[in-house]
Amino acid sequence: MAYAALMPAKLGLQGSHDHIHMLKTTTSSMNFDNLSKGHYVCGTKINKLKINGRVKKSTNALQIRSALSYVEEKTGYKDFLHINDFDKGTILKILDQAQEVKALLKSGERTYLPFKGKTMAMIFAKPSMRTRVSFETGFFLLGGHAIYLGPKDIEMGKREEARDVARVLSRYNDIIMARLFAHQDLLDLANYASVPVINGLTDYNHPCQIMADALTMIEHIGQIEGTKVVYVGDGNNIVHSWLLLAAVIPFHFVCACPKGFEPDPETVEKAKRAGVGKIEITNDPKEAVKGADVVYSDVWASMGQKEEAAYRRQVFQGFQVDEELMKIAGPQAYFMHCLPAERGVEVTNGVIEAPNSIVFPQAENRMHAQNAIMLHSLGL
């Protein structure tokens, strides 16, 4: 059915399709600002329409509801918040599309413009070079326009609540990407937005990074399944996303971290309970890296933890990825790092610059993995 056929004018209403969300008849008090998204089902959300007050039926009621349903379907509601919101088939399909679109862009092809006429709001409570440039460039190359909203532009939770930000930005944009501190802010944003929300990072997880990592592994190793990935360092948001990937795709994931810096126990248990990948948490990096296909590192003090940096450098002694540790891992092991790196702290300069370091292809793949994620979220 053509979208024009469902425009408000066709229903005897005034205004653009955006007004569908704010419909009020003379005989009802239908509050469409209470539109919210419900629970996940294989990566897609069941949508709920909340109506406050008495609603008197009218001849247009069914048509109005049909129009609303269509707008919601067009909008998508395929948020990308956690990797394990999706099944294995969907994750691999997104990664396949990432490879296809990457090849297209590498060939110089510039007529594939699936995002033409679309806008993306990018919320940055945490600044980032890679996240901004990869999302903005990727969206532009595929025909769209991205709008940067920096830490002082919104101040979500301080100047304006997430639920209000979500509903306002949904009326201007086709998709929202958010890089935040509190994971609950992301969940609130997704719950109230009527467009797809992409997790650009929270203190809890970083799914776009791990999708880029998975794409990089496929390019260099040939697959993710059956591999051994060893993360050495702090049990942070990167580790949580690796754990959630291991809950979907069967591979061996090991986190080697100092005592007291292990990843969230509930996330570890969730990954183990899925019964898909092999999960290990250890305090012995030298034993952990033996036979690894990938040795992975990240900064010891993330953004918001810099006041702990000196203390962490003491605690994390013995967890630096250096040439000796890579030698223990074996000649087959690649080194990966999500960047930015503190050379000489969690990793040596020699390891980053070694031939088996794939840190920079990994960084490039942020854009390609995210392009595929956005295509999936928008149903394109």
Closest CA to 70 of 139, 10, 120: 10
Pairing of strands 36-41, 44-48: antiparallel
Instruction: Say whether 292 sits in a helix, a strand or coil.
Output: coil
Rounded Cα gap, residues 330 and 202, in angstroms: 33
Strand partners, 55: 28
Residue where the block lists tokens 């110089």: 108
Buried b (16+ CB within 10 A) or exposed e, 29-53: ebebeebbbeeeeebbbebeeeeee
Query: Among the options 208, 255, 257, 338, which is catalytic?
Result: 338
Question: Which is it for the CA torsion 79, 80, 86, 91, positive or negative?
Answer: positive
Peptide bond between residue 340 and the one before it cis (omega within 30 degrees of 0): yes
Rounded Cα gap, residues 167 and 176, in angstroms: 11
Concerning whether 208 is annotated as a catalytic residue, the answer is no
Strand order in the sheet with 119-124: 145-149, 119-124, 175-179, 197-201
Rounded Cα gap, residues 246 and 296, in angstroms: 15
Instruction: Say whether 231 sits in a helix, a strand or coil.
Output: strand
Closest CA to 89 of 249, 213, 244: 249
Closest CA to 320 of 302, 341, 303: 341
Read off the tokens for 62.
């069914």
Q: How far is CA 323 from the centre of its chain?
A: 32
Residues 6+ apart with CB under 8 A from 190: 37, 79, 81, 166, 197
CB 237 within 8 A of CB 303: no
Half-sphere exposure for 19 (CA within 13 Å, toward CB): 13
Please identify every residue annotated as catalytic. 338
